[in-house]
Structure 1
Amino acid sequence: MNAALRQTLSPARHPCGGLRVLIEGEPCVLRCSGALWVINHRTLIAADLHLEKGSAFAARGQMLPPYDSSATLDRLEAEIEALQPASVVLLGDSFHDAASIGRMAPGDCERLGRLAKGRTWIWLEGNHDIAALAGSVDALPGEVIETMTLGSLRLIHEPQGGTQPGEIAGHLHPAARIVAYRRSVRRPCFVTDGRRAVLPAFGAFTGGLDVRDAAIAGLFTEAPLAAALGRDRVHALSWEMLR
């Protein structure tokens, strides 16, 4: 990490194993789960849950284990229990397709209601779930919106071109690949230069786009930090380490 990026991000190891960084001046924690914790606003942000992706594939004859929604909600519930957020913002593509909500198990629907109880709960619209959210406003807890502002941060599903100070986005599912000791490892990752950030996909069945792909790398004028998710810590990777 170069000196300018280090000064902007002010990275520090958080007790949870994540990385504490500054994004457009807002203290945040890049969590091992792939969620972003905005400290001063007590807000938990997660991107791209893609609930019911397994059942969507099954409907097309591609059989995947039908447990992705439950596994994803387990992880979300663990984050909520650990942090007790005042607000939860789901950054778009929370559902995999327009019919996902109707395919959810009753227990998973009920759990969403329990998790949202007593806190602000916001669904941002994504390209996969805009129709699902529009047709299920009364069935879901919380509020559905397109974008929102949180302090100096602007939350949106899909990253926008050009300079976007404070933008927090998902959509691209960034993943980093490193090679060490003749072994290759590929992990979901955060990408940030301290001015904007792209979050990894939170869902259990989500793939990843190489962080060096132009769709991600082109968002940054200088080499950003890739923060790869490990089992119990987030690993800060300089751009030069990536393969």
Structure 2
Amino acid sequence: MTGHRFSLSGAKLFALPSGALWWADEGLLAVSDLHLGRSSRIARLGGTLLPPYEVDETLAKLDAEIARTAPRVVLCLGDSFDDLAAADLEADHRLWLTRLMAGRRWLWIEGNHDPGPVDLPGEHLREMTLGSLTFRHIAEPGAGGEVSGHYHPKIRVAGPARPCFLIDTARVILPAFGAYTGGMEATRPPLSNLMAPGAIAWLTGPTPCALPLKGRR
């Protein structure tokens, strides 16, 4: 399996090129910031129209990762939907998502875009602690053993900025898993303030690589 192996609070984790996080010992696949329904929400608000395929792209990527890892647990780290109205999925998307949920535990962690339960199967939680790790949407300063999302970290090497994991000895911040999600430069506050000295950025995509955060601008 291609990816970046690292340990966090004793847990052996695997950052995957797709932007998902795999915890083999728990059979847990974590993804963050799917932002399903983003194009429809922007259209409802009268904004710039986006291609209406982001739900298909995101679910197809999630489907492929679930097929690859066969997780017992899928944990969605918040902002799974672009707002609560976007959780009212079209019938084919709801069926697709329900099929992915079948036979496994599915956890919805609330985010700032979807701060309440949605009308879908699964467990709806503010945050989740499993073993030595705590899963929440937004990183908390001073936390340890923390897995979070929210910021959609990206970093520029050459050409367009690329989504990345941010990893140090206390936390990992996941990139956005969803299509059309944008991102925040990883070397700028608040991300640079959250990450400890020695933190790395692990860039996702077809040519993943690790870079030190220190000294990058």
Establish whether TM, by shorter chain, passes 0.5: yes
SS in 1 for 2:157: strand
2:205 to 230, 233, 237: 230
**Structure 1, 25-34 or 215-224: larger mean CA deviation:** 215-224
1:73-113: CA deviations, max 9, x gaps? 100010000010000000000000121022x2211101111
Q: Work out whether residues 169 and 196 of structure 2, in 8 Å CA contact, stay in contact via their aligned partners in 1.
A: no
Partner of 1:199: 174
Q: Work out whether residues 199 and 214 of structure 2, in 8 Å CA contact, stay in contact via their aligned partners in 1.
A: no
Task: Write out aligned runs for 1:163-242 (5 A).
Answer: 163-179=142-158, 184-231=159-206, 233-240=207-214, 242=216
- C-alpha deviation, 1:241, in angstroms: 7.0
TM-score after normalising by structure 1: 0.85
Q: Do residues 58 (structure 1) and 33 (structure 2) align?
A: no
- Closer, same or farther in 2 for the Cα pair 1:185/1:63, shift >3 Å? closer
- C-alpha deviation, 1:240, in angstroms: 4.8
Consecutive unaligned residues of structure 1, counting only runs of 5 or more, are 1-15
Partner of 2:124: 144
Structure whose alpha-carbon radius of gyration is higher: 1
Consecutive unaligned residues of structure 2, counting only runs of 5 or more, are none
Partner of 2:31: 46
- C-alpha deviation, 1:146, in angstroms: 0.5
Counterpart Cα distance in 2 of 1:242 and 1:186: 13
1:113 to 93, 98, 101: 98
TM-score after normalising by structure 2: 0.95
Partner of 1:84: 70
